[in-house]
Amino acid sequence: MTQTHQQSNLPQNIGLSLSGGGYRAAGFHLGLLSYLNRVNLLQQVRMISTVSGGTFTGAKYTLSLVAGQTFPEFYQEYYALLKNTKLVELALNKLNRKEINIPSSRTDLITASAQVYAEKFFKDADGKPYRFGHILNANIPLQEVIFNATEFRSGLAFRFQRSANPKARIGNGNISIDRSDAEDIRVADIVAASSCFPGGFEPLAFPGDFNWSDSQALNNIKKTVAKTLPKVDLKQPIADENPLASDEELATIDSNIPIISGQKDTDIALMDGGIYDNQGIESLWLAEKRSEVKLDLFIISDVDQRPGSLYSFPAPFKVSPLTLKAIDWISKILIGFCAFTLVTIGYEFIKDYINGQFIWLDFFLYIIPILLAATTASILVWSRNIIKKRILPLIPQVGILAWKDLKNLTVNQVVNGIYLRLSSLQAMAGSVFMQRIRSLGFRFIYQQYDETTRQKLISNLIYELRTGSQLTQLPGVEPPSSAILEIIDAAASMPTTLWFTEDNELDNLLIAGQVTTCYNLMVYITRTHGAQPNSYPQDIRKLWNNLVIDWQNFSSNPKVLS
């Protein structure tokens, strides 16, 4: 494995796309990296594209190269951070203390989380946060590094990237950040933008929510963003008519989106890169397309959960059989009781006060009941006004007149109707759309190569070895043992979170990444060199033998490399 490129049959130029998926992704991808390192292929990785949870691992690994760490040093440090860092607790603490130094002065969960990332994950030996310039200017084997976010103004990918090609943009086809300004971007903020998933976090404003050490870089980027307001031209086609277009091609179309007259944006909203491409496939393909280096191996490491039922119709709630009309009358009666309470207690309070009979204990006898009654009445009146003046008028065609029909609905009907809408909306955004985006990404990449070059693609899927899966028959290799299946099943079913709820979850993910990578490398070899190991070239046969031995060891003890 120390042979030159001309002499070796092993992959010399490897590209990795690391999918999103929270800590499930971070742990699984760490397992991938550790196994590539074990078989001496990690040093051949030339390109890396990451999304969301994959950006945690990808950014940390890239910075370990910048710092000159050995892989074991990186692995031990990152493992401890994933295992022991309580991100939610620390972010809430930052949120409470408002210890966030950013131009927007915004204090919310995503900006607090970015500060935690900077202080815990992405700092140098002196405790200072890494800046993107450390990656852009480093002498490391990774020629192409892409951390993916999604830009919400145009709906395009927003790429923080290091590239050997000077034409590669930091940003997208609409917004291109000058490299010298991008050097001051904090890596922790890039990771926050890439992993800022909707519902869990607020959008991250760029550049206002980012931390800056150079005010000139901030001002330059503000001017860049402000100058890129799109103009309207309804004669232009819609960008989505060409699903295979690059960001640069899309920008020539999407620059015609309407703008509001007089609008002056100095910030754009960035969110999770998985909204555009949860595997980072397109970014890695574009990186290879523009590079003089062509990949021998293109590994798509994906922790999307096994396809299945995306939405189970929930059982109905049983809250109350009361109708809305009854609730309306109850609220009127309560308002009447509150008003009567205010009058009677108020009268007694005034009488005692005038007669000089008021003592401090009367505070609880008079003042507290008066405040409670007034507050209750105010809330009820306010709620009724909101429904009457703000909500009902929004109903199409009938407006407030809809009340004559709606008042006979029961609370059960209303609650279940709202719940079904919210749950189906969540399933649509979190499962249905994500599965569609994923299938489009895989379809896209497999269409870019012919039958010969397509052999370099490896889909390294977390659920691939799960119980019941149909696996490739490999010469002399037994199916996964029950010990392997147990761990794979547990890892693949872990939810998308930024925390671990059980002590063994991280270890399960690491083992799943290692075992799945071992299996897929064996599949890759049989696909490219046939099913007769004795006929393999010497270096391929050596790699094959090592993979088979590791597989056998995994079968008897999946934790053998832990």
Look at the chain and count its residues.
562
Identify whether the C-beta of residue 148 lies closer than 8 Å to the C-beta of residue 159: yes
Q: How far is CA 223 from the centre of its chain?
A: 28
How far is Cα 39 from Cα 61, in angstroms, rounded to an integer? Answer: 17
Nearest to 543 by CA among 520, 516, 561, 513: 520
Identify whether the C-beta of residue 230 lies closer than 8 Å to the C-beta of residue 255: yes
- The encoded tokens of residue 263 equal 């609008």
| Given the residues 17, 19, 34, 52, the one annotated as active site | 52
Helices (H), 53-122: 53-66, 71-84, 87-97, 109-120
Half-sphere CA count of 507, side-chain side, radius 13 A: 10
Those residues whose C-beta lies under 8 Å from the C-beta of residue 427, and which sit 6 or more positions away, are 310, 311
The string of DSSP codes covering 323-377 is BHHHHHHHHHHHHHHHHHHHHHHHHHHHHHHHTT---TTHIIIIIHHHHHHHHHH
| Given the residues 108, 214, 352, 362, the one annotated as active site | 214
Amino acid at 537: P
378 is catalytic: no
Residue showing tokens 């290692």: 514
- The encoded tokens of residue 405 equal 């029909």
Nearest to 46 by CA among 171, 177, 146: 146
52 is catalytic: yes
Backbone angles phi, psi at 464, to 5 degrees: -60, -35
Residues with catalytic roles: 52, 214
